[in-house]
Chains A and B, each alone.
Chain A
Amino acid sequence: MNKKEIENHLSCAMKQATPNVLDEILAGCHQQEQVQSAKRTVLKFSGFKMTSSILAACLVLFLCVGGMQFYNANYRISSVIELDVNPSIELSVTKAGKVLEAKAVNQDAVEILDDMELRGVEMKVAINAIIGSMVQHGYLDDLDSAILVTVSNDNAEKAEVVRKEVVSNIEECLKENKKEATIIEQKLEKNDNLSEIAAEYGISSSKANFIQKIAEKDPSLSIDDLALMSITDLANLIKTRGIDISDLTNYENVKDIVDSLEGQTANTITDSSETETEATSSTVDTTAGGTTQEAAVSTTTETTEVTEKTTAIPESSAPASSQDQITEGKKIKISDAYYKNGIIRVEFEGFVSWKNPTVAVSDNVGDTYPAMIVEYQEDYCDIYVDGITHSGEYEFTIAGIKVKNTENYTTVIGSLDIYLEQLIVLETTAPETTPSETTMPESTGTAETETSEAEGLGFKHFAAEISTKSAEGSIVVTSLENTTGDQWEIKFSKAVDWIAPVITVTDELGNTYVVSILEKNSKKCVLAIDALTAGHTYTIKISGIALRDTQKTTEVVTFLAIISN
């Protein structure tokens, strides 16, 4: 079965397989609208009913178990206060407002609590200590910092009172420390799924609740990504995406978030979290355009150092397989790695942080290449590599990287296949060609061996021969056909060998175009050429090709004029 047949079968299969579910969807849309309007009515009613029930229950409790009051006030958890910045801390507080337990939910919180003994102290004192410690640890340094405050109490009113008290304590404390932060007050709805999410991502249940609600409101966001973000990042995200969270939080504070973040320029998750990137950029050029020769030269010593580190990596993290996407290292997953114009772009699943990142690149023979990370962001990095001259499998080792919001920096190893034929222009290889003349058919007429015009397709092909002046004769393009979309099939007059094929496509203005060899054999090749437009004549130059069994590489040039799209 050839490529065309496979494509046809797939097209037919998908035509048959795609179901028509529009009616079901429309019915679902209608149903959802009805359920939502019904929910709103029920909520109003049940809200009133629930409040009165709680009030009645409180009254009964007051009359019947008055004797238990003292115990309850001093030894029983009345409210649970959760403070999330990135450190997440859970305070269990008695009715009398004393702390029964202060729990660190994540590793950052362990540092914040350090050896503080908060048991038995007043809630206000405990909050002061915690916020003070967060300030000391630099968590509230940014102007756009945000703190998520969640209070759970069986009594909604009591929860409201405690929450207000907590917020006022935090505000006071921030004022004392001359810091500014947005305080997001959250109403916690109990949900079985929360503890599962919290456990899975190592976050507090209040943060789990918050991100779950955000993900429900904007389905294009995934819990996986949100769980990795700090509260500050989440607040930025809410603002930039215009997500309405008024039903999750105190409404006035939603406005506060918007107001406090109004002046910022950050407009994506990435932008906002850049402030958290722990990279020290003193040794690495982080500009996007830093792919210069100078950069390559300055990395020589650094590369040697990295290579040594690579040898120290245990065998368990050795590179595997010839695939171009490898997932290695602790928790850091590489989603894609590809090479273009001397740069290897490595993309990560989820967000990462950097600290003095270094990189080593080697090929499958073990030769190392001068390399440096010229740009690093929280979801990708660009590695400049010098001296890659042949296609094959290359391995890269990146050090000074960690999963965002985790503790230890680690090393990631990946590998990729580099196909030099994908390059638009390859200056380094000089095939052994005899001097040749490349002329446009219009100007000479002699080079034009065949002119074919396919009016339906709207292009004109001028086949031009580049004289090799060799005894073996020359290779001529006999036909050039537009097969599908941006794919072009080129047929040759004689059987050929592909030695080190490089194909360039340029227009009359000298602009180059992205070209890729999709298929090649002794008689023809299929190219994918991007963005060809009508009204231009393109020069397609194929080098690294030889007449069968001669091993003498030559160049074949042909011209293509696009008349209409």
Chain B
Amino acid sequence: MFLMSLVSAQEEIKKATNKDKSLDYRKMSNELLLIRIAQGEQDAFKQLYENTDRSVYSFILSIMRNSQDAEEIMQDTYLKVWTSAHLYTDQGKALAWIFTISRNLCYMRLRNRKRESDIPIEDLELGESCPQIENTVDRLVLESALEVLSEEERQIVLLHAGTGMKHREIAKTLGLPLATVLSKYSRSIKKLKINLSEERGGINE
């Protein structure tokens, strides 16, 4: 009887500890999560994914301009994060580190594609960018952003408007001055407005 109660008490403690652990992960910064991932903790990895998936996907999509490529590179990025977390040196820039990995993967793929097709990267036809978006207007606006903006503008716009990252965070993560981020964002929105009104005009005609 005593043994049984001891076992059940131990289980409860275990459960509670597990619960605490999962709670802890939610409270942890991305930097701390990376340190845990380096020690092989999968829960930390899951939490990091949850924290960063939208930003990472937006960042990759802003370079690749194609959802299929972006999805594959997103997977590769997180795999690299899992295998290389031990190389991360904590400078409070975990997301910037992940972005660097994904940027390298993107450029590698674009380079390979260029080698195969002999067409300059910027001229490569990208087809339908995001067919999975059901709402037509949402898709139109995103496609317009991917089409008319420069790579850096796309990054700033998708990270701010698409994922809710603050300008300050974007500046820190992309290593740009805040004033540049602000002015580029403002200019990009203007470009989008013009492009969308033209498109609408074209449709109306």
Contact = CB atoms under 8 A, between A and B. Distances in A.
Contacts of A215: 104
B203 interface: no
Contact of B161 (A10, A25, A345, A514): A10
B157 A10 contact: yes
B74 interface: yes
Interface residues of A, number: 54
Nearest to A345: B177
Nearest to B176: A336
Contacts of B104: 215, 219-222
B163 A14 contact: yes
Contacts of B164: 11
A242 interface: yes
A116 interface: no
Contacts of A88: none
Nearest to A338: B180
Interface of B is mostly: helix
Interface stretch (B5-13, B20-28, B76-84): B76-84
A426 B74 CA distance: 44
Given A13-B162, A219-B104, A29 B79 contact: yes
Interface residues of B, number: 66
B168 to A, nearest CB: 6
B193 A340 contact: no
A25 B82 CA distance: 9
Contacts of B200: 1
A6 B189 contact: yes
A241 B107 CA distance: 22
Given A3-B189, A14-B58, A336-B176, A243 B87 contact: yes
Given A10-B142, A17-B132, A518-B182, A220 B158 contact: no
A17 B178 contact: no
A456 interface: no
Contacts of A28: 75, 79
B71 A10 contact: no
Contacts of A218: 84, 87
| A-B interface, 3 closest residue pairs, ranked by CB to CB distance from nearest | A14-B162, A13-B142, A9-B141
Given A19-B74, A530-B168, 19 more contacts: A1-B197, A9-B141, A9-B142, A12-B135, A13-B130, A13-B133, A13-B141, A19-B57, A21-B74, A21-B78, A25-B79, A25-B82, A217-B84, A219-B80, A242-B87, A243-B87, A528-B182, A530-B167, A530-B178
